Amino acid sequence: MNNKEILNKLYNNYTKSFLPKILFSVFFSLLVAGSTSAIAWLLDPAIKKIFIEKDQTLILLIPAAIILAFTTKGISLYIAKTTLIKVGQEITKILQLQLMKSIIKADAEIVDKKHSGKFISHLNFDISQMTNLVSVVILNIAKDSLTLIGLIGVMFYQNWRLALFALIMIPLASFAAKSLGKRIGKVTTQAQESSGILTTYMLEVFKNHKIIKIFQKENYEFLRAEKFINNLKQRLVKTAMVLVRASPIMETLTGFMIAGLIYYSGNLIIKQELDINNFFSFLAAMMLAYQPVRSLATINMSINQGLSAAKRILPLIEQENNIKEKPNALPLKTTNGEIKFENISFKYNNEEREVLNSINLNIVGGEMTSLVGHSGAGKTTILNLIPRFYDKVSGDIKIDGQSIYDISISSLRKNISLVNQDTTLFDDTIKNNIAYANLDATEDEIFEAARLSHCNEFIDKLPNKFDTAIGENGTRLSGGEKQRLSIARAMLKKSKIILLDEATSSLDAETESKIQEAIKLLTKDRTTLVIAHRLSTVMNSKTICVVDNGKIIAEGNHAELLQKSDIYKNFYEKQLRKD
């Protein structure tokens, strides 16, 4: 995407809808330009009529006109700026919502391959740069361009030869700014990358603070933090230095300009070709023109910063998911919830090795099927393919005879509940965490799900009961309590298909016994696929499938697999030793 395409997208998608407000701001920018030019012009009659001709009739009128000009400038500038500040914040909101929507709806694989810290950096750092491009830059271009045009008009009115001399400064300043503009895009990108790395690191520290303490790595992590923070500091300093590099260039150019102007105008005054009042009015106009010239000369750098950020943000907002449903996809109609894998093969993007290879599996509707096997065998991948978190490379998966690739994704996932190995909870109350499965659920339904999953045993001991906030990812709860909440949430959904990924792996023997009772209620007459390392979970299964290296190498009940599968027999013996 080149710069022209980006600017077109920014205008059509974000700026165009705010055009009336922008034009409103431009109108007041025009008043700023007119009042600034009036201030410079008023010095001409002020010096000539009051100081030279000593005309008492204008001694009050001209100062009053100057006060009016300054007041008009101040009020107009305030209205122009506040209008575009509001526009800028609206655009920020739109960009942040679009980015969040893109992240929330993104394929699991897209989110998995990028650290959350990078997304946070995009949400804060990059969007602020883009907002600056479509709000502040617009104001500065409008205000400063109009002001400069007005002041140049005053300069030509006073003396066209001096005006031509002064105009030499503009192309020189523009040339300097253009070279700096190319540099600012590069250093801004580097600063954003460093910001993302630091945010990523900070999230890792918050998540692993207990590990840091137990392994006594505080000093090690402090040194790492110092390295990342110092790197960001250096990038930000470099960015700031490029931005202020225009200052000495502009000051030097201005010095040469004023010196040359005084020399040239001095000669004109000596030759009586220029009056002193015209000179001071011209000088005032030129000095007032310094700020807009400098602003316009450096605007190129702000534009490049915004374009650099847009090149990172717009692809994220516009990215298309690989997992799509067919046009006019029909809703899933479940009867007994039978799931069939037909020659399913799968591999992750950019990987040569197939994680699953020609999987054929029949999960009987209304019954429990277990997957056992070594870590990395492909069990979790089989689970993730059913709700289409990932899509197969080849083959088909059918639920009650309907291909999941022909039905709508929303109706598919509506019929599936999931309890993960790594329990995921929100920083909210217990009640809201359970109700997340069904926001329309009544309190009685929430309380019943909590009771069936034995959550009420610990909830009743909490000071605020169901209204207790559990902290980030449930940090105020034990592992078993979090797991029970997760099961209560799955119960509340009342879906036809239940996926349990090592759902009891975090529980002690006593809690597990209670959870097994809850799971029996949860899975009664429902199609259930379980990944479990616990023998008790597997023993309740109608069918057990042994997965190894992406293939199902054995299938049957407990007794059958003890006879024909060495992997299952080894799994069983290890569980017996544990128990």
Strands 368-372 and 543-548: parallel
Residue 370 and residue 541 in contact, taking contact as beta carbons nearer than 8 Å: yes
pLDDT for position 578 = 56
Question: What helix, strand, coil percent values describe the chain, rounded to 5?
Answer: 65, 10, 25
How many angstroms separate the CA atoms of 175 and 181, rounded?
10
pLDDT for position 508 = 64
Residue 35 and residue 73 in contact, taking contact as beta carbons nearer than 8 Å: yes
Contacts (Cβ under 8 Å, ≥6 apart) of 188: 129, 239, 304, 305, 308, 309
Residue 110 and residue 319 in contact, taking contact as beta carbons nearer than 8 Å: yes
Alpha helix (H) ranges present in 453-533? Answer: 456-459, 479-493, 509-523
Strands 527-531 and 497-501: parallel
Q: Which two tokens stand for residue 108?
A: 């699991």
pLDDT for position 137 = 78
Residue 500's H or E segment, with its range, is strand 497-501
How many angstroms separate the CA atoms of 187 and 194, rounded?
11
Per-residue pLDDT of the chain (579 residues; tens, 9 = 90+): 677 788 888 888 888 888 898 889 888 988 988 888 888 888 878 887 777 777 777 788 888 888 998 999 899 989 988 888 888 888 888 888 888 888 878 777 777 777 666 777 777 777 887 887 777 777 778 888 888 888 888 888 888 887 887 777 666 666 655 566 556 666 777 777 787 778 777 777 766 666 676 667 778 777 888 888 888 888 888 777 776 766 677 677 777 777 877 888 888 888 887 778 877 887 788 777 777 877 776 677 777 778 878 888 888 888 888 888 888 888 888 888 889 998 988 888 767 778 888 888 888 888 888 888 877 788 888 888 888 888 888 889 998 888 988 898 888 888 888 887 777 778 788 888 888 888 888 888 888 888 888 888 888 888 888 888 887 777 777 777 788 888 888 888 888 888 888 655 555 666 667 777 777 777 778 888 888 767 666 777 788 888 888 888 888 888 888 888 888 888 777 766 555
E-assigned strand segments in 19-156 = none
How many angstroms separate the CA atoms of 325 and 432, rounded?
30
pTM over the 0.95 mark: no
Gap between the terminal Cα atoms of the chain: 61
Cα distances from 61 to residues 57, 58, 66, 285, 333, in angstroms, run 8, 5, 9, 21, 85
Length of the chain: 579
pLDDT for position 71 = 92
Residue 379 and residue 554 in contact, taking contact as beta carbons nearer than 8 Å: no
Q: If one looks up domain 3-318 in CATH, what number appears?
A: 1.20.1560.10
In the chain, domain spans: 3-318, 337-415+498-509+526-579, 426-494
Residue 311 and residue 389 in contact, taking contact as beta carbons nearer than 8 Å: no
State residue 543 phi and psi, 5-degree precision.
-130, 140
Q: Decide: helix, strand or coil at residue 14.
A: helix
How many angstroms separate the CA atoms of 122 and 103, rounded?
11
pLDDT for position 359 = 86
Closest-CA residue to 66 (of 39, 37, 47): 39
Cα distances from 327 to residues 102, 105, 322, 330, 414, in angstroms, run 20, 18, 14, 9, 19
State residue 127 phi and psi, 5-degree precision.
-65, -35
Q: What is the pLDDT of residues 129-167, one digit of tens each?
A: 788 777 777 777 888 888 888 888 888 888 888 788 777
State residue 190 phi and psi, 5-degree precision.
-65, -40
How many angstroms separate the CA atoms of 119 and 257, rounded?
48
pLDDT for position 75 = 92
State residue 333 phi and psi, 5-degree precision.
-115, 110
Q: Which two tokens stand for residue 175?
A: 């040339």
> What's the topology of domain 426-494?
Rossmann fold (3.40.50)
Residue 491 and residue 446 in contact, taking contact as beta carbons nearer than 8 Å: no
How many angstroms separate the CA atoms of 167 and 261, rounded?
11
Contacts (Cβ under 8 Å, ≥6 apart) of 381: 346, 355, 356, 390
How many angstroms separate the CA atoms of 422 and 501, rounded?
9
Residue 554's H or E segment, with its range, is strand 551-556
How many angstroms separate the CA atoms of 155 and 149, rounded?
10
- Other CB atoms within a 10 A radius of the CB of residue 527 amount to 27
Residue 168 and residue 257 in contact, taking contact as beta carbons nearer than 8 Å: yes
pLDDT for position 72 = 92
pLDDT for position 425 = 79
Residue 541 and residue 530 in contact, taking contact as beta carbons nearer than 8 Å: yes
The superfamily in CATH containing domain 337-415+498-509+526-579 is P-loop containing nucleotide triphosphate hydrolases (3.40.50.300)
CA R_g for the chain: 35
Closest-CA residue to 571 (of 549, 539, 543): 539
Q: Which two tokens stand for residue 31?
A: 């008043």
Q: Which two tokens stand for residue 416?
A: 């599936």
Strands 356-363 and 543-548: unpaired
Q: Do domains 337-415+498-509+526-579 and 426-494 have the same CATH topology?
A: yes
Region for residue 427 given its phi and psi (left: phi exceeds 0; alpha: psi -120 to 50; beta: otherwise) = beta
